[in-house]
């Protein structure tokens, strides 16, 4: 009869009662991982990190505070017109006004929005004009507004 302890001893019982030695791989894997972890920790302790204190200059863009006045809200309407911070303008007036804005404020930001029935093509043309003016900080409003019933 085979004993429970014989199955874990590293020997397998042969029918004639002789035991045949065999190599268990699980304890070898454990030993290899232990040696690997020891080697990694040892090599990390050998590296010396040397540094010297530096005071880096501040960026000019960080030194200048941005104000809400520099953010333009450009709303495209379904009637083929636009609103420049609430002021009604035509779509052809967008390009010259954006160039003026860029010349006056290099850090200008533009928020492009539209009403629920605004045409996709008009909105894309407005975005193209913002890009042509060289304004890189552009946001698109994606909030769906509730309709009055």
Threshold 0.75, pTM exceeds: no
d(CA 138, CA 74): 10
Thinking of the domain 67-140, which architecture would CATH place it in? Answer: 2-Layer Sandwich (3.30)
Nearest C-alpha neighbor of 124 from the set 79, 97, 91, 101: 91
- Statement: residue 72 has pLDDT above 60: yes
- 116 pLDDT band (50/70/90 cuts)? confident
Per-residue pLDDT reduced to its tens digit, 19-60: 888 888 888 899 999 999 999 998 888 877 777 787 877 766
Whole-number percent of the chain with pLDDT over 70: 77
- Statement: residue 63 has pLDDT above 50: no
d(CA 130, CA 124): 10
- Statement: residue 120 has pLDDT above 70: yes
CA-CA-CA-CA torsion for 39, 42, 48, 49, nearest 10 degrees? 70
CB of 119 closer than 8 Å to CB of 125: no
The full set of domain ranges for the chain reads 4-45, 67-140
**79-86: long-range pairs with CB below 8 Å, 24+:** 80/119, 80/122, 82/122, 82/126
d(CA 15, CA 95): 95
Give the CA count within 13 Å in the CB-facing half-sphere of 111. 12
């Amino acid at each position: 009869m085979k004993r429970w302890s014989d199955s874990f001893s590293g020997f397998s019982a042969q029918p004639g009662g002789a035991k045949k030695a065999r190599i268990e791989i699980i304890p070898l894997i454990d030993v290899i991982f232990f040696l690997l972890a020891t080697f990694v920790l040892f090599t990390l302790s050998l590296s010396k990190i040397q540094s010297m204190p530096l005071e880096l200059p501040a960026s000019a863009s960080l030194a200048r505070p941005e104000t809400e006045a520099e953010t333009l809200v450009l709303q495209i309407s379904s009637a083929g017109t636009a609103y420049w911070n609430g002021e009604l303008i035509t779509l052809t007036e967008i390009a010259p006004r954006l160039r003026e804005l860029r010349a006056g404020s290099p850090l200008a930001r533009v928020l492009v929005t539209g009403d629920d029935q605004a045409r996709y093509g008009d909105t894309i043309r407005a975005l193209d004009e913002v890009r042509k003016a060289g304004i890189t900080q552009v946001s698109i409003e994606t909030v769906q507004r509730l309709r009055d019933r």
